[in-house]
């Protein structure tokens, strides 16, 4: 489909710069047969008993590092992408500095050093971290002096509030450089109320990469180089989701990352355990095999995330909902308000 079909005008003032005053306090637009202006605190009571709610338990790494060039005061910003090996002393990374970073450059961190080992044609660096330990010890050091990797459209430095609010309450597996933002709305009380209603909670892990912010650069979505993300759908989750689909019960995805994970593991025979990378692109016309309902945020124009939600909710209906939300002052993107799609309504 043409990327321009997923375009809309997003005023800068509509982009949330901070989370709601308290977790679970955001507004929620419900896309039923009519639009309903609601609140996230009502979400648990809208999920029917017997449904399966699937959550992404990835945890955001403090991936943004401030450094200086060894022997000078030149400032450098590093962004860690993925570790190379279990020791986690070598990383794929991005770097930003006044002068180009070249192989051999040594950088001083608040703790330890970093050395540029290689630089790809696209500018991606291979870094070696020194003096921070290995494995879990290194991750603890990064959590101490690294910065929360807020999205590029949040135009402020990170602070103490972000360290808590840019993680879900159920985050467990460290590995993302961006939060699975629909999950940011949910509280422990939501999860307790869901379980009390006879709703099964299940988990997948999808480590969100920087590609989630990459705009569509081609006229046709089919030509867009879809980014890869690491996914694990454990056996227990595959079983409960497959059984729910077989029984005709709702499978609720909390966020587009969960949709991508489950549909990557799905086939006509059901959902199977999955471990590896996915490059799945979902757009109108896609046949869903697992997910029937979605809690999500409001997404960027001309994005693959907007195309994914359009496949579930219907493109024209979704764009009408976005216009409704903008007219009523909803807050958009990662720290913004939520949208609840209780059933598939695709109009293609």
Q: Does residue 15 sit in the same domain as residue 72? A: no
Cα separation of 7 and 18, whole Å?
24
Cα separation of 104 and 90, whole Å?
14
Q: pLDDT tens string for the chain (348 positions)?
A: 899 999 999 999 999 999 999 999 999 999 988 999 999 999 999 999 999 999 999 999 999 999 999 988 889 999 999 999 999 999 999 999 989 999 999 999 999 999 999 999 989 999 999 999 999 999 999 999 999 999 999 999 999 999 999 999 999 999 999 999 999 999 999 999 999 999 999 999 999 998 888 778 899 988 898 889 999 999 999 999 999 999 999 999 999 999 999 999 999 999 999 999 999 999 999 999 999 999 999 999 999 999 999 999 999 999 999 999 999 999 999 999 999 999 988 644
Q: Does residue 212 sit in the same domain as residue 86? A: no
Q: Is residue 152 part of a domain?
A: no
Q: Does residue 24 sit in the same domain as residue 94? A: no
**Confidence (pTM):** 0.95
Tally of domains within the chain: 2
Phi, psi of 146 (to 5 degrees): -75, 165
Determine the number of helices (DSSP H) and then strands (DSSP E) in the chain: 8, 19
Q: Does residue 82 sit in the same domain as residue 215? A: no
Q: Does residue 198 sit in the same domain as residue 306? A: yes
Cα separation of 190 and 188, whole Å?
5
Q: Does residue 75 sit in the same domain as residue 174? A: no
Q: Does residue 289 sit in the same domain as residue 305? A: yes
Q: Does residue 209 sit in the same domain as residue 244? A: yes
Q: Is residue 191 part of a domain?
A: yes
Q: Does residue 52 sit in the same domain as residue 78? A: no
Q: What is the CATH number of the domain that holds 289?
A: 3.40.1780.10
Q: Is residue 154 part of a domain?
A: no
Q: Does residue 122 sit in the same domain as residue 173? A: no
Q: Does residue 82 sit in the same domain as residue 108? A: yes
User: Containing domain of residue 249, as a range?
Assistant: 3-60+163-341
Strands (E), 158-238: 173-176, 200-207, 229-233
Phi, psi of 229 (to 5 degrees): -135, 145
Residue 333 · residue 153 · CB < 8 Å: yes
Q: Is residue 153 part of a domain?
A: no
Q: Does residue 55 sit in the same domain as residue 203? A: yes
């Amino acid at each position: 489909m043409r990327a321009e079909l997923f375009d809309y005008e997003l005023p800068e003032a509509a982009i949330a710069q901070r989370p709601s005053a308290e977790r679970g306090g955001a507004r929620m637009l419900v896309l039923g047969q009519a639009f309903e202006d609601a609140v996230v605190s009502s979400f648990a009571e809208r999920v029917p008993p017997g449904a399966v709610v699937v959550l992404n338990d990835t945890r955001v790494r403090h991936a943004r590092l401030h450094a200086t060039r060894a022997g000078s005061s030149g400032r450098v910003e590093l962004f860690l992408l993925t570790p190379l090996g279990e020791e986690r002393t070598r990383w794929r990374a991005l770097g930003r500095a006044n002068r180009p970073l070249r192989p051999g450059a040594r950088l001083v961190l608040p703790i330890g050093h970093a050395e540029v080992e290689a630089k790809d044609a696209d500018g991606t660096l291979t870094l070696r971290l020194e003096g921070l330990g290995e494995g879990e010890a290194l991750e603890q050091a990064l959590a101490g002096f690294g910065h929360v990797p807020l999205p590029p459209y949040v135009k402020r430095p990170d602070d103490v509030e972000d360290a808590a609010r840019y993680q879900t309450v159920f985050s467990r597996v460290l590995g993302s450089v961006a939060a699975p933002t629909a999950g940011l709305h949910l509280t422990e009380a939501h999860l307790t109320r869901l379980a009390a209603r006879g709703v099964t909670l299940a988990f997948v892990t999808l480590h969100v990469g920087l590609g989630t912010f990459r705009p569509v650069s081609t006229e046709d979505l089919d030509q867009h180089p879809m980014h890869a993300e690491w996914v694990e759908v454990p056996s227990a989750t595959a079983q409960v989701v497959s059984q729910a689909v077989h029984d005709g019960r709702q499978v609720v995805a909390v966020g587009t990352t969960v949709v991508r994970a489950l549909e990557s593991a799905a086939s006509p025979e059901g959902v199977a355990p999955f471990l590896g990378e996915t490059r799945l692109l979902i757009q109108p016309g896609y046949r869903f095999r697992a997910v029937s309902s979605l809690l999500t945020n409001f997404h960027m124009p001309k994005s693959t995330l907007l195309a994914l939600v359009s496949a579930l909710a219907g493109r024209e209906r979704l764009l009408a909902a976005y216009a409704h939300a903008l007219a009523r002052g909803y807050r958009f993107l990662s720290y913004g308000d939520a949208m609840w799609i209780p059933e598939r309504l695709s109009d293609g």
